[in-house]
Amino acid sequence: MTDTTAATRPDETGINTRKVFIKTYGCQMNVYDSQRMGDALARDGYEPTEVIEDADLVLLNTCHIRERAAEKIYSELGRIKLLKAEKAERGVEMRVAVAGCVAQAEGQEIIDRAPVVDLVIGPQTYHRLPEALARVARGDKVVETDYAVEDKFRHLPKVTAPQIRTRGVTAFLTVQEGCDKFCTFCVVPYTRGSEVSRPLAQIMGEARALAAAGVREVTLLGQNVNAWSGQDEAGRDIGLGGLLRALAEIPGFARLRYTTSHPRDMDDDLIAAHRDLPALMPYLHLPVQSGSDRILKAMNRRHTGADYLRLLDRIRQARPDIALSGDFIVGFPGETDADFEDTMKLVSEVRYASAFSFKYSARPGTPGATMDDHVDEAVKSERLQRLQALLREHQVDFAESLVGRDIDVLVEKPGRYPHQRVGRSPFLQPVVLDAAAGEIGDIVTVRIESTLPNSLLATGGAVPAAEARHRNAVPAEPIRKIA
What would you measure as the largest C-alpha separation in the chain, in angstroms? 75
The interface mask with ligand F3S, positions 219-238, x = CB under 6 A, is ----x---------------
Choose the stretch contacting ligand SAH; rule: CB under 6 A; options: 49-57, 237-245, 360-368, 407-415.
360-368
* Using rule CB under 6 A, residue 302 touches ligand SF4: no
The interface mask with ligand SAH, positions 361-380, x = CB under 6 A, is x-x-----------------
| Cβ proximity of 315 and 266 under 8 Å | yes
Residue of 63, 200, 225, 273 that binds ligand F3S (CB under 6 A): 63
**Which one of ligand F3S, ligand SAH, ligand SF4, none interacts with residue 101, CB within 5 to 8 A by kind?**
ligand F3S
* Using rule CB under 6 A, residue 358 touches ligand SAH: yes
For residue 160, whether the previous peptide bond is cis, meaning omega lies within 30 degrees of 0, is no
Going through 83-169 in order, the beta strands assigned E by DSSP cover 95-99, 119-121, 142-144
Separation of alpha carbons 24 and 77, rounded Å: 14
Amino acid letter, 42 = A
- Applying the rule CB under 6 A, the residues between 64 and 103 that interact with ligand F3S are 64-65, 100-101
Q: How far is CA 348 from CA 291, 353, 399, 441, in A?
A: 11, 12, 16, 36
Residue of 262, 285, 359, 405 that binds ligand SF4 (CB under 6 A): 262
| Cβ proximity of 187 and 380 under 8 Å | no
Cβ neighbours of 87 (radius 10 Å): 18
> Which residue number, 186 or 353, has a Cβ lying nearer to ligand SAH?
186
Q: 138-156 burial by CB neighbour count: b if 16+ within 10 A, else e?
A: eeeebbbbeebeeebbeeb
Closest separation between CB of residue 327 and ligand SF4, Å?
A: 8
The interface mask with ligand SAH, positions 254-293, x = CB under 6 A, is ------x-x------------------------x-x----
Choose the stretch contacting ligand SAH; rule: CB under 6 A; options: 9-17, 83-91, 182-190, 235-243.
182-190
Separation of alpha carbons 162 and 300, rounded Å: 44
Give the CA angle between residues 283, 286, 289 to the nearest 5°: 145
* Using rule CB under 6 A, residue 181 touches ligand SF4: yes
Closest separation between CB of residue 379 and ligand SAH, Å?
A: 15
Choose the stretch contacting ligand SF4; rule: CB under 6 A; options: 17-25, 98-106, 176-184, 232-240.
176-184
- Phi-psi domain of 31 (left: phi exceeds 0; alpha: psi -120 through 50; beta: other): alpha
The interface mask with ligand SAH, positions 49-78, x = CB under 6 A, is ----------------xx------------
Q: Which residues bind ligand SF4 (CB under 6 A)?
A: 179, 181-183, 186, 188-189, 223-224, 262
